[in-house]
Amino acid sequence: MGKPARELHIGIIGIGVVGSSVVEILQKNRELITARTGVEIIVKRGVVRDLNKARACTIPLTDNVDEVLYDESIDVVVELMGGRELPYQIAKTALAQGKAFVTANKAMLAYHRYELASMAKTPIGFEASVCGGIPIINALKVGLSANEILAIRGILNGTSNYILTKMAQDGWDFAQALQQAQNLGYAEANPSLDIDGYDAAHKLLILASIAYGIKAAPEEILVEGISEVAPEDIEFAKEFGYCIKLLGIAKKHGNEIELRVHPTMIDEEKLLADVDGVMNAVSVVGDCTGESVYYGAGAGGNPTASSVISDLIAIARSYHISQSLQPSAMLGFITEQQYSITPKEQIKSKYYMRILADDKHGVLEKITAILSKNAISISTFLQKPQKPAHTDSTPSQISSIGGLNQPECAKILLATHETSELAIQNAIKGLQALESVRQRPVIIRIEE
Ligand code: NAP
Ligand code: HSE
């Protein structure tokens, strides 16, 4: 490589929120990191899109990725630019050039992780791709590797958790909370990835590759985001001892793995219920360990940079020992497909449902008839007048259909016993077809 083995040269593509933190931490903790690895990690060059942007960064910058990809003195390419297909091309080129590759890019890995794994003859590090500063990848591929993984339940997206927390605890509206998450550098360049659940799905699939060898793409699993969660859903959850979190869930049932991402009502006594703001947490149930829970900052420059640098340190340590970039087992994916994914319609859950309907005689009967036709049984039922003239606006439990005021329309909030996704989706279709139901009913799954 034409330089002493004591140095590992890196090029960073993307010097934004995460990239600039990586540069800063490598400078601030240089002595500590060199003492821990026996190798000095040197940032040779950073790549940005706009060289005219004012920035505090002190490293040499270019707007030409080739100056990193084809620089023979660079050992490791660190991709922190975001996007999907361009980073994939960059990853392939870096690996083909014999460089190690480190990324925080879960969107790219969600689609291309197995292709990269099959071509890699040098290390690939992706600790930062799931849950920012939490070393969950290492926990799963090393710490828990003796276990059969029975279930993973995680708050995997910091932006959504921040929004839901601000709505529930401070009464913020959705748009205000999203704007603040963007200001704080938590959100993706395209924030719909955060709020529509796809960022969490990308992360869940990466975890599922390590735990189960799942090669699926995000479109093949059940994904719903938080944009329909309304204050009355949060109020209902509170009243019945739940809180609402966007969860990524993987569960093993025999040879099938159930994979889903959606807003979820969880018991407020559970550890995950206490995970607020940008914090993330992942509960992993192993057959030997039982449940273990990993908690920490799920987004933001420094926490994510900590994970990026942990990959660089792992590469530097092995480089120090072997003086080469060993084709290591850093990926940790199971490559043989042992499991199939549970078809979406067969997934079972309890459900909360919010229905906006005309508040007039006979409507509730029609609604309950549709639920009953789909073998869905109701466990809890509330009706909240939408435009009450003289009534209390907080929800109150009702015991009879006949005793209602007659506002223009009403919100009907109910929870069901366990049923299948197929039954609930058929019921939604049936309800939507009723003239007296004013919009598509909203559901939130309940996880015990
Ligand atoms: P960011 O702040 O938007 O920074 C992106 C950087 O990449 C910028 O420096 C940008 O250049 C550069 N860039 C973008 N497109 C480019 C192109 N075509 N050619 C050259 N440079 C380009 O993004 P970020 O928040 O740091 O996120 C980076 C990656 O980390 C993403 O994959 C994201 O999903 C992941 N991630 C982020 C977080 C977080 O909390 N932010 C946490 C975990 C993972 P300019 O500076 O000139 O615009
Ligand atoms: N946008 C992501 C989040 C960044 O909010 O969780 C961390 O992956």
Cβ neighbours of residue 353 closer than 8 Å, sequence gap 6 or more: 412, 413, 414, 415, 416, 424, 441, 442, 443
Superfamily of domain 6-133+300-322: NAD(P)-binding Rossmann-like Domain (3.40.50.720)
Under the banding of pLDDT at 50, 70 and 90, the label for residue 5 is low
Q: Is 298 in the pocket of ligand 2 (CB under 6 A)?
A: yes
How far, in Å, is the centroid of ligand 1 from the Cα of 63? 13
Q: Is 21 in the pocket of ligand 1 (CB under 6 A)?
A: no
Under the banding of pLDDT at 50, 70 and 90, the label for residue 328 is low
Instruction: Give the pLDDT confidence score for residue 195 in this predicted structure.
Output: 98
Mean pLDDT of 357-361: 92
**234-277 tens-digit pLDDT:** 999 999 999 999 999 999 999 999 999 999 999 999 999 999 99
Structure tokens at 336: 């043989």
Q: Is 81 in the pocket of ligand 1 (CB under 6 A)?
A: yes
Q: What is the 3-state secondary structure (H, E, C) of the chain?
A: CCCCCCEEEEEEECCCHHHHHHHHHHHHCHHHHHHHHCCEEEEEEEECCCCCCCCCCCCCEECCCHHHHCCCCCCEEEECCCCCHHHHHHHHHHHHCCCEEEECCHHHHHHHHHHHHHHCCCCEECHHHCCCCCCHHHHHHHHCCCCCEEEEEEECCHHHHHHHHHHHHHCCCHHHHHHHHHHCCCCCCCCHHHHCCHHHHHHHHHHHHHHHCCCCCHHHCEECCCCCCCHHHHHHHHHCCEEEEEEEEEEEECCEEEEEEEEEEEECCCHHHHCCCCEEEEEEEECCCEEEEEEEECCCHHHHHHHHHHHHHHHHHHHHHHCCCCCCCCCCCCCCCCCEECCHHHCEEEEEEEEEEECCCCHHHHHHHHHHHCCCCEEEEEEEECCCCCCCCCCEECCCHHHCCCCCEEEEEEEECCEEHHHHHHHHHHHHCCCCECCCCEEEEEEC
Taking the CA of residue 188 as reference, the ligand 2 atom at the shortest distance is 1
Q: Is 299 in the pocket of ligand 1 (CB under 6 A)?
A: yes
Which of 304, 310, 311 has the most ligand 1 atoms within 8 A of CB, as the residue to mutate?
304
Backbone angles phi, psi at 27, to 5 degrees: -75, -50
pLDDT at 389 > cutoff 70: no
Lowest model confidence (mean pLDDT) among 205-219, 258-272, 275-289, 310-324: 310-324
- Please say whether the dihedral angle defined by the alpha carbons of residues 60, 61, 64 and 65, taken in this order, is positive or negative: positive
Which of 130, 134, 156, 157 has the most ligand 2 atoms within 8 A of CB, as the residue to mutate?
157
Identify the nearest ligand to the CA of 104 by its number. 1
Number of other CB atoms surrounding residue 381 within 10 Å: 15
Backbone angles phi, psi at 180, to 5 degrees: -70, -40
Identify the nearest ligand to the CA of 131 by its number. 2
Instruction: Give the pLDDT confidence score for residue 405 in this predicted structure.
Output: 46
Task: Tell me which fold the domain 139-297 belongs to.
Answer: Dihydrodipicolinate Reductase; domain 2 (3.30.360)
Superfamily of domain 344-447: ACT domain (3.30.70.260)
Single-letter residue type at 42: I
Mean pLDDT of 79-104: 97
How far, in Å, is the centroid of ligand 1 from the Cα of 168? 30
Instruction: Give the pLDDT confidence score for residue 327 in this predicted structure.
Output: 63
How far, in Å, is the centroid of ligand 2 from the Cα of 54? 24
Identify the nearest ligand to the CA of 106 by its number. 1
Nearest residue to 149 (alpha-carbon basis) of 260, 288, 272, 338: 288
Under the banding of pLDDT at 50, 70 and 90, the label for residue 94 is very high
Q: Is 18 in the pocket of ligand 1 (CB under 6 A)?
A: yes
How far, in Å, is the centroid of ligand 2 from the Cα of 69? 26
Q: To which residue do tokens 């407020």 refer? A: 268
How far, in Å, is the centroid of ligand 1 from the Cα of 227? 24
Q: Whose CA is nearest to atom 4 of ligand 2?
A: 299
Mean pLDDT of 92-102: 96
Q: Is 194 in the pocket of ligand 2 (CB under 6 A)?
A: yes
CA gap 51, 60 in Å, rounded: 11
How far, in Å, is the centroid of ligand 1 from the Cα of 14? 5
How large a percentage of the chain has pLDDT more than 70? Answer: 93
**394-422 tens-digit pLDDT:** 433 333 333 444 458 999 999 999 999 99
CA gap 86, 392 in Å, rounded: 55
- 8 Å CB contact between 133 and 311: no
**170-184 tens-digit pLDDT:** 999 999 999 999 999
pLDDT at 88 > cutoff 60: yes
How far, in Å, is the centroid of ligand 2 from the Cα of 31? 30
Identify the nearest ligand to the CA of 199 by its number. 2
Average pLDDT, the chain: 92
Alpha carbon dihedral 202, 189, 123, 218, in 10-degree steps, equals 20
Backbone angles phi, psi at 416, to 5 degrees: -110, 160
Would you say how long the chain is, in residues? 448
**131-153 tens-digit pLDDT:** 999 999 999 999 999 999 999 99
Instruction: Give the pLDDT confidence score for residue 335 in this predicted structure.
Output: 79
Instruction: Give the pLDDT confidence score for residue 2 in this predicted structure.
Output: 44
How large a percentage of the chain has pLDDT more than 90? Answer: 87
Instruction: Give the pLDDT confidence score for residue 78 in this predicted structure.
Output: 98
Note every long-range contact of 181-185, with CB atoms under 8 Å and residues 24 or more positions apart, other chains counting.
Answer: 181/278, 184/278, 184/300, 185/17, 185/299, 185/300, 185/301
Domain layout of the chain by residue ranges:
6-133+300-322, 139-297, 344-447
Taking the CA of residue 200 as reference, the ligand 2 atom at the shortest distance is 6
CA gap 20, 339 in Å, rounded: 40
Catalytic residue positions?
203
Under the banding of pLDDT at 50, 70 and 90, the label for residue 387 is low
**23-78 tens-digit pLDDT:** 999 999 999 999 999 999 999 999 999 999 999 888 999 999 999 999 999 999 99
Cβ neighbours of residue 230 closer than 8 Å, sequence gap 6 or more: 354, 442
Structure tokens at 102: 């480190």
Cβ neighbours of residue 217 closer than 8 Å, sequence gap 6 or more: 110, 111, 205
Which of 194, 278, 279 has the most ligand 2 atoms within 8 A of CB, as the residue to mutate?
194
